[in-house]
Structure 1
Amino acid sequence: MLEVVADRGGASAKEVSEALGFPIPTTYRLLQVLVGCEYLVHLKAAKRFELGYKLDRLGVSLHRQVGVPASVRRRIAKLHEMVGAASYYAVYRGVDVVVAHVVDCPTHPRITPMNFGFHEAGHATAFGKILLAAMSLEDATEYLDSHGTERLTPTTITDRTELARHLAEVSRRGVAWERQEFVPSTACAAVAVHDASGAVTGAVAISTPDREVDRRRAAEVERALRSTANEISRWLRTG
C-alpha cells in the first residue's frame, strides 16, 4: 500500500484497491490503520492518501543501521576520482548485499537502480558475485533458490553450473566482473572488504561503460579496487 501511494504521489482508496486487487472496504480499513500509525496522512477534502511523516524517521533509522563511516565515504570518493567511474560501497545484511553508499557525478553517473538500499540481482552484479563467491555451497544454493537467477540481459549468467564456475574464478582472483550482465552497455567490477576475522563484510565496486574496458582499463580498475578495499579493511580492523 505504501508503495502504491508513493509511486503515484498520493492515491485514493479506490486506486489502491484496484492496484492491489483488494476489496474497497478492506483497503480503506488498512489505509486507516496506516494513518493511525502516521505512515500515511488522509487528505479528506481531496479524498486521497499521501505518505506520512513517520516514514522519514524510519528512513533515518535505516541509514543509521546501514551507516557508512565518514572514513569509508572518503575512500569511496577517492576511488571515484582515481578511476573516473561511479563508485559504490555495499555491505552485507543477513544474506543480502545492500548498496550503502554511492559516489558519482554527471560525467560518471551511477547505474539507474543502484541507489541506497538496492539489494537485488546478486547473480548479475559484481558485488553480488563477491558475496556469492564467499558463501558456503549450502548458503549460496539457499540464496539462489530464494532470489533466483533472472535473465536481465542477453549475457546474464542464469545457468547454475556456469555461474558456479564463474564464482570459482571470482574466488580465485579476488575480483568480480560483470560485462553487460546487469544493464546493457555497462560493466562493473568489485573487490571484497574483510573484517578483523577475515570474513567478507562488504565490497567496493565501480560501474563504467563496457566499451571503455580494455586490458589496460581493467588492470587500472582492479588496482584501484584492491587498494581501496585493503584500506577499508584495515580501517575496519583498527577503527
Structure 2
Amino acid sequence: MTSSSPGFVDEAERFEDDGRTGRSGPVERALGILEVAADRNGASARELADALDLPLPTVYRIAKELVGAGYLLHAQAGRFELGHKLHLLGMSLHRQVGLSRPVTSEIARLHEATGFAAYLAILRGGEMVIVHVVDSPDCPRLSPLRFGFHEAPHATAFGKLLLADLDPDFRGDYLERHTMVALTARTLTERSALGAELAAVARRGIAWEFGEFIPGWDCAAVPVRAGDSRLLGAVAVSAQAGRLNGRERVLESTLRAVSSRVGALLRQGN
C-alpha cells in the first residue's frame, strides 16, 4: 500500500527528469524555483525550467503547489512571482535576528555620522551573518554584503571578529570548512599571518580590513557583546580606499558607541 500527502512527491516522481536525475530532491527543487523567481523579479515556467535544468512538467507541478501554498503567485503573461506568504517568513526571520526599529535606527545613525555604508551582523548558527545595511549613493554597500552574507570570514572585518573570538582549536576546524581563498592581492591566505592579525584583533577589540575583500574598499568592525562578554554580533562600516585614513580614532570611538547601544538593545530584547 502506498500513501501520499499534498505537497510531496512519491519515489517514482523523484526520477522523472528524463535523464537528468540526481540533480536535487523535491525540496531543493522548490527552493530553486523560489530563488530564481526572486532573482529575476518573476519568471515564466520555461525560464525556470531552463535555469534549473528541470523538465517543464516538473516545474509546472512544483510551481502549482507553491502557488496553492501562497509562496508563489501566478501573475499575468504566465509569469510566476513571489507570493505574500514569503513576506511573513521574512518578518519572522527579522524578529528572530533582532531587527527591531531601535536597532536598525542605530545602524542608520552610524551611516549618518560617518558617511560610510553601515552594517549590522549577528552571530547565528556559528556564523557572523549580515542582517542589516544602510548606505547611500555617495558610499554604497559592498555589493556581496547583502542580507544573509557570511562567507569569506578571513577577508572581512566582521568575519575576523568571529575568528578572533574562537578558541584556536575550533578556529582551525572552522577554517578547514571555509577555504581561505585569495579574493584580492591583499587577502591573507596563510594561517600564521591570519593568526597574528587575529591576536591583534582580540587584543584591541577592533578589526580592520584594507582591500582584502574587494579591491579599492576598506572596512572596520567592532564586536557587539552580551553582558557576560559573549559575542553577539558586530557593527561595521565600509568605504572607498583611503577614506578611513586619518579618521581611525574617531571612527573607532563612533563604532564602539554604536556597538554599546546595540548590545544593550539586544540584551533587553528591543
After TM superposition, the score normalised by the length of structure 1 is: 0.86
Q: Deviations over 1:80-138 (max 9, x none)?
A: 33333222221111112122232333333322232333322222211111111111234
Within the alignment, does 1:17 sit opposite 2:79 as a pair?
no
Q: What code does the residue aligned with 1:157 have?
A: L
Q: Deviations over 1:138-158 (max 9, x none)?
A: 432343333333332222223
Task: Answer yes or no: is the 8 Å Cα contact 1:196–1:236 preserved in 2.
Answer: no
Closer, same or farther: CA 5–234 of 1 in aligned 2, 3 Å? closer
Closer, same or farther: CA 87–48 of 1 in aligned 2, 3 Å? closer
Closer, same or farther: CA 33–149 of 1 in aligned 2, 3 Å? farther
Within the candidate set 206, 215, 219, 1:184 is matched to 215
Q: Equivalent residue for 2:260?
A: 230
Q: What code does the residue aligned with 2:72 have?
A: L
Q: What SS is found at the alignment partner of 1:46?
A: helix
Q: Equivalent residue for 1:211?
A: 242
RMSD of equivalent CA atoms? 2.3
Closer, same or farther: CA 30–182 of 1 in aligned 2, 3 Å? same
Closer, same or farther: CA 149–37 of 1 in aligned 2, 3 Å? farther
Measured after TM superposition, the shift of residue 179 of structure 1 is: 0.6
Kindly tell me the number of residue pairs found equivalent between the two proteins: 237
Q: What SS is found at the alignment partner of 2:150?
A: coil
Task: Answer yes or no: is the 8 Å Cα contact 2:128–2:233 preserved in 1.
Answer: yes
Task: Answer yes or no: is the 8 Å Cα contact 1:95–1:143 preserved in 2.
Answer: no
Q: Which runs of 5+ in 1 are unaligned?
A: none
Task: Answer yes or no: is the 8 Å Cα contact 1:91–1:97 preserved in 2.
Answer: yes
Could you tell which deviates more after superposition, 159-168 or 73-82?
A: 73-82
CA distance in 2, matches of 1:60, 1:232: 20
Q: Deviations over 1:182-205 (max 9, x none)?
A: 122110001111101110101111
Q: What SS is found at the alignment partner of 1:228?
A: helix
Identity %: 49
Q: Equivalent residue for 2:145?
A: 114
CA distance in 2, matches of 1:149, 1:162: 12
Within the candidate set 152, 155, 166, 1:124 is matched to 155
After TM superposition, the score normalised by the length of structure 2 is: 0.78
CA distance in 2, matches of 1:80, 1:185: 19
Measured after TM superposition, the shift of residue 237 of structure 1 is: 5.0
> For residues 63-212 of structure 1, what are the structure 2 equivalents within 5 Å?
63-212=94-243
Task: Answer yes or no: is the 8 Å Cα contact 2:139–2:240 preserved in 1.
Answer: no
Q: What SS is found at the alignment partner of 1:211?
A: coil
Task: Answer yes or no: is the 8 Å Cα contact 1:75–1:228 preserved in 2.
Answer: yes
Q: What SS is found at the alignment partner of 2:145?
A: coil
Q: Which runs of 5+ in 2 are unaligned?
A: 1-32
Task: Answer yes or no: is the 8 Å Cα contact 2:217–2:239 preserved in 1.
Answer: yes
Closer, same or farther: CA 28–238 of 1 in aligned 2, 3 Å? closer
Q: What SS is found at the alignment partner of 1:156?
A: coil
Task: Answer yes or no: is the 8 Å Cα contact 1:153–1:184 preserved in 2.
Answer: yes
Q: What SS is found at the alignment partner of 2:153?
A: coil
Q: Equivalent residue for 2:15?
A: none
Task: Answer yes or no: is the 8 Å Cα contact 2:208–2:221 preserved in 1.
Answer: yes
Q: Equivalent residue for 1:29?
A: 61
Q: What code does the residue aligned with 2:155 have?
A: A
